[in-house]
Amino acid sequence: MYNETALELLNDLELSADKSYPALETLSESSTKYLRDLKVNLKTALSSENLGEKDALLTAYAVAVNAKNAPLQEAFKKRATAAGANTEEVAEAAAVASLLSANNILYRFRHFCDNKKYSDMPARIRMNIMMSPVLGKELFELISLAVSAVNGCQACVNSHEHSVRELGASEDRVFDAIRVAAIVVSVDRIIA
């Protein structure tokens, strides 16, 4: 059913090879070298020295929640917990994905729409979680930035990038979080 590289990828994610993942099966049946690249890209992104294992996995988990990908949510939650994330941190990463989905839609609409009246209207979205996040303000903003980048909200990306840099994150740390998000989206397309 799956070739060796596909099995290694599933093993890395601690996912069962007994489950059918149609796109992964298609790639397994071909001679493409893409699966090897994807496997290496995922390993490299999650082992970023600028993020650390726990922060990289919490970011990956939030992106998997944003993608509504149950197998990847399970995989990254398990690995994040093994890397030291507690229940509250994992839950807050899921909350970030949920909150940013709403914010990204609202602010993307304001950006796309020519009617500037909407920009003056209050958002009326409660965001108390942002005041004192369990993850700490910097990681909360970093995960918010990654989810916003995935969702394509320019205003949110700029706002969260500014906040996270003000909180002391290096550009290398920011870029590595975005790389994690990008690679998780790539994996999401293959394992769903």
Active site members: 153, 156
CB crowding 49-70: b at 16 or more within 10 Å, else e: ebbbbbbbbbbbbbbbbbbebe
Backbone angles phi, psi at 142, to 5 degrees: -65, -45
State the first-to-last Cα distance of the chain, in angstroms, to the nearest integer: 16
- What is d(CA 151, CA 15) in angstroms, rounded to the nearest whole number? 26
- What is d(CA 67, CA 110) in angstroms, rounded to the nearest whole number? 23
